Structure 1
Amino acid sequence: MIDHLLTILVGLAGGIAVGSGLVAFITVLGIIPRLAQLTCTSTWVTRYENAVILGALAGAWMSLGSPGLSLPVIASVPVGLAAGMFIGLLAAALTEVLNVFPILAKRVGAADRISWLLFAIVLGKITGSLFHWLYFNSMR
């Protein structure tokens, strides 16, 4: 009985911590309004907020079990493309808000080579994504 209560308590505390971090990340940094501003879709801010809320709720609900989607390969391509575009736009908005690249370039002493730094980050992200999708999905 104590094991179950402890598991519930740890799960609840972890959920509160992660949820609070997500809300602080999105609210304090102004990620959604900046994303809307970058994409020139400021009239859709409410839709973006609703999508984030529904996505967080769906992700939390799905993480409670082991859901699986059996999509044909042809349907997986648009879903993967949409997910990649969302992550890319969110990362672009975050780096824009935090001015990450100039700070990183200054710290590593590569201020005159920011374009190379950007290229390396993009290439690393693409390589990591391809490795994950091609290698780990082939093991299933």
Structure 2
Amino acid sequence: MARTYAANLFVAILGFAGGLGVGSALVALLIVLDLIPRLAQIAYAYRKSIWFETAVVSGAVFWSFADFLEFRFWLPKWLTLPLIGTFDGIFVGMLGAALTEVMNVLPILAKRLRLSNYLVSLVYAMVLGKVTGSLFDWLVFQWMDDGS
């Protein structure tokens, strides 16, 4: 009986430590990439940056509880797939844009390849390539594995 309590206590401490580590890594990533202040700057919403911060924290807390408590949402696929795909795409796109901006990849790439005059076209090509690849993966490859 005491062994069961010790095992449960160990698992609880291990889970808490893991969550603390992952949460700290996410916060460090957001701070290093300067994602929230940059988003407020792009949206011209300096005074409302608390809303962006609250949205990130609330989303993390809500979905952590949803995963922990195994929430089930029974919505039709035609509604959920485009909605989830859109939000996932926004998240990945913003994270990728933040990484690109922090590392100054585009200006360096444009200068090295002598494409400075075509920087807008380069960005559009990258966006269209990302969207096309994502749609192809989502609409073709995802449905190919459906029979397994």
Q: How many residues align?
A: 134
TM alignment of 1:24-63, pairs within 5 A = 24-63=28-67
Q: Which has the higher contact order (CA 8 A, sep 6+)?
A: 1
Counterpart for residue 108 of structure 1: none
Runs of 4 or more, structure 1, over 6 Å off, are none
Q: Distance in 2 between matches of 1:59 and 1:24?
A: 19
Contact 2:40/2:46 (<8 A) preserved: yes
Cα deviation for residue 120 of structure 1 reads 9.7
TM-score, normalised via structure 2 length: 0.66
Contact 1:35/1:93 (<8 A) preserved: no
TM alignment of 1:1-140, pairs within 5 A = 1=4, 2-76=6-80, 77-100=82-105, 111-112=112-113, 115=122, 118=126, 122=130, 124-130=133-139, 133-135=142-144, 138=146
Change (3 A) 1:43 1:127: farther
Contact 1:31/1:93 (<8 A) preserved: yes
Choose 1 or 2 for highest CA Rg. 2
Task: Provide structure 1 residue ranges, at least 5 long, that are not aligned to the other structure.
Answer: 106-110
Cα deviation for residue 33 of structure 1 reads 0.9
Task: Provide structure 2 residue ranges, at least 5 long, that are not aligned to the other structure.
Answer: none
Cα deviation for residue 69 of structure 1 reads 1.6
RMSD, matched Cα: 3.4
Contact 2:33/2:98 (<8 A) preserved: no
Cα deviation for residue 18 of structure 1 reads 0.4
Letter in 1 for 2:96: A
Letter in 2 for 1:32: I
Change (3 A) 1:74 1:132: same
Q: Distance in 2 between matches of 1:9 and 1:132?
A: 40
